Structures are given as C-alpha cells and as structure tokens.
Amino acid sequence: MSNLRAAITAVGHYAPEKILSNADLEKMVDTNDEWIVTRTGIRERRILENGATSDMAAAAVRDLLANRGIGPDEIDLIILTTVTPDMFFPTTAVLVQEKIGAKNAWGFDMTAACSGFLFALTTGAKFIETGTHKKVVVVGSDKMSSITDYTDRANCILFGDAAGAVLLEPSDDPGYGIIDQSQYSDGSGAPFLYMLGGGSLNPPTHETVDKKMHYIYQDGKAVFKIAVVKMAEAAAEIMKRNRLTCDDVDWLVPHQANLRIINATAQRMGLDPSKVMINIDRYGNTTTASIPVCLSEWWKAGKLKKGHRVVISVFGAGYTWGAALIRWSF
Ligand code: UT7
C-alpha cells in the first residue's frame, strides 16, 4: 500500500437554466411559499427541459476540465453517481465518457442515493491512493424531475436537477487532500425512501405506471428524524477523531435536503452559520449533485481556498450516511 493521498484538484458544475419557483408550484399543487420556506428552506429549483443525466454530467465535467486546464484524454477513470441514470445500462459513466471524448478512461456508475457523492469520492480516492490511477473524475448528476410526481405536494417541492464534478489526483503534499472519511448504511431504512417500480422487483407494466410506482416515495417525517441525528453525528465524529475544534473547520458542506437538518448539523459541530455552504434555497435537493455543486460554486466565488479544512456530511436513502474531512489543495 502506498502513502499517496488523494486530493481534489478541480471542480465543475452545471445547473439547468429553467427555474421552478415556489410560486410556480403554488399553481400546480396545494402548497404555498411560506410552508415550503419554513419547512425546507427551498425557494426555487432547476429543471432540465431537454436532455438527460449524462448531458448535465458531461457539462459539469467539461467545466471541471476547463478549470484545471487539461483535456478529456488525460482522465483515467470516471465514477458517476446517480439515482436517475439515462438507462439501466449501459452505465451513464460511459455515456459521459463518449460525450466528452475521454478516450483513455474507463468508468462505472455507483449508487447510494443522496450519499452517492461521498461514497463515490471515497471510492475514487482509493484508485489514487493505490497509485494505479493519476486522474479520477467523480461526478454526481441527477435529473430528479424525471422521477418526481408533480401532483404529490409532499415530494415535488423538494427536488431539483443539477450535476457537479471533482477531479482527484495524487497530492504533492500529504497534508492536503482527503484526510479522513466515514461511510455507513442501514438497510432497515429502505421502506422509508425509495422508488418501487422499474427494477427486477416490479418491472414496468401498465399497472406500475398507473400506481405511480416510477416516482420517488418518501416518508418525510421518518427520514427527517434519523437524518437530523446521523448527519450531525457523522460530522461530529470526524471532528473528534481528528481532534478538530469548531475554529479549525473552515467549511461544513452538508447534503442539501432540508435547511433544518443543515442547521442542526452545524449546531452540533458548534459552527457559525457563516461557515456552512448552503444553496438549497436556489436548487432544492439535487441528490448526488448537492455536495459537488456547493464545492464548485464556493470555489468559483473565491470563498473556498487552499488550506481550508472542509467537512462533508451526507444522509440519504438506504439509509446511507457518512462524512469526510478534506484539506483543500488549490
Ligand atoms: O435527501 C435524502 C434525505 N431526505 C431528507 O432528509 C428529507 C427529510 N424530511 C424532510 O425534510 C421533511 O420531513 C419534509 C420537508 C419532507 C416535510 O416536512 P415536515 O415538517 O416533516 O412535514 P410533514 O410531512 O409532517 O407535514 C406536515 C403537514 C401535513 O399536514 P397535517 O397532516 O399536519 O395536516 C402535510 O400534509 O404539512 C402538510 N404538507 C404540506 N403543506 C403545504 C405536506 N407537504 C406540504 C406542502 N405544502 N408542500
């Protein structure tokens, strides 16, 4: 085993232009801006009108490559995480490979719902740490509008479409990069957040369509209760394990599912709200894209800087959850 450390060396993202605001949703279902903002913190989300998950992912990776100043042929591996693949197979990763012209890469998809980006990031890091790969792209992309029932007020207000990507490379300095990570799953959470239809359990039929089984189902209250505990626990655990106080942490990057869960996580860490990346108000819950979109936006705004200590914390269907500590390297 080598002593290489994997570092994020570039970021990129893509958000579709079309905005679906709370006012728009008020015209579609029995809801109101006040309820949505107080319960979730969401004001608007983006909707991809034409195209698929791979198109958003390809745009995010092109942005990343431009930011790093390298060509697609330099990529060794593409790990794509999504719950809304273009198709069951081939993988969306190979569709992205083809779209961007990454002819020297191989690729695969990974899924862990809203925890997908963290799980893919820590998996990608292993290919760098073993010394077998030099440039690994990890991309989270989800067209949540393709599995959202816009007559279901409890769910349609939550989700949006977007993609975000990071490049992993070996760090020149072992003090920088992905310092620590944790991943958890608990399958007893499966009945609370899922999409029932389309897979081998319930292959698509007229009946599965009529019963709306190709849409997200979430028992919001049940998920909330555990998400608020586990996301905060994972973040606090990684701080403790690395002997970090709230002053040592520059940024919390929480999965953007609900502003109340984000605030509870920051509170548990003792972090000032100014150190928390929040864009849920503009994008809603973009599932696997939420973390890399935050990283990319904050980097582009010049707020995420070399040397910053960044804690990522996630929770999603499964249940799945976890955290990572990163010393930002560019
Ligand atoms: O990303 C993966 C992980 N996911 C999460 O972390 C999400 C976790 N859950 C949540 O964020 C919250 O549970 C929700 C935002 C989904 C819902 O908030 P809540 O405070 O748990 O509301 P609720 O589901 O308990 O609903 C409260 C009331 C209900 O009415 P009654 O039964 O009290 O009369 C709902 O019917 O609000 C009603 N309601 C709405 N009212 C207006 C539900 N959806 C809406 C709506 N507009 N869109």
| Interval 252-279: pLDDT, tens | 999 999 999 999 999 988 999 999 999 9
Spatial separation of the C-alpha atoms in residues 323 and 82, rounded to whole Å: 18
- Is the previous residue joined to 184 through a cis bond, with omega within 30 degrees of 0? no
Strand-strand pairing, 136-143 and 217-218: unpaired
**Is the predicted pLDDT of residue 3 greater than 90, yes or no?**
no
In a 13 Å sphere around the CA of 26, the CA atoms on its Cβ side amount to 11
Could you confirm whether 294 is annotated as catalytic?
A: no
Q: Whose CA is nearest to atom 36 of ligand 1?
A: 154
Spatial separation of the C-alpha atoms in residues 295 and 301, rounded to whole Å: 10
| Distance (Å) from CA 224 to ligand 1 centroid | 9
| Distance (Å) from CA 13 to ligand 1 centroid | 29
**Is the predicted pLDDT of residue 1 greater than 90, yes or no?**
no
CB of 115 shorter than 6 A to ligand 1: no
pLDDT of residue 172: 86
Other CB atoms within 10 Å distance of the CB of residue 31:
17
Spatial separation of the C-alpha atoms in residues 82 and 209, rounded to whole Å: 22
* Mean pLDDT score, 39-45: 98
Q: What are phi and psi of 157, to 5 degrees?
A: -80, -15
Could you confirm whether 114 is annotated as catalytic?
A: yes
pLDDT of residue 96: 98
Quickly count helices (H) and strands (E) in the chain. Answer: 11, 13
Question: Coil, strand, or helix at residue 194?
Answer: strand
CB of 316 shorter than 6 A to ligand 1: yes
CB of 294 shorter than 6 A to ligand 1: no
Percent of the chain with pLDDT over 90: 98
Spatial separation of the C-alpha atoms in residues 139 and 165, rounded to whole Å: 4
| Distance (Å) from CA 130 to ligand 1 centroid | 44
**Is the predicted pLDDT of residue 57 greater than 60, yes or no?**
yes
Q: What are phi and psi of 7, to 5 degrees?
A: -120, 150
- Domains, the chain, with CATH or none: 6-175 (3.40.47.10), 178-327 (3.40.47.10)
Adjacent-strand bridge partners of 20: 45
Query: Considering only CA atoms, which of 77, 83, 84, 107 is closest in space to residue 95?
Result: 107
Q: What are phi and psi of 253, to 5 degrees?
A: -115, 90
H-helix or E-strand containing 218? strand 217-218
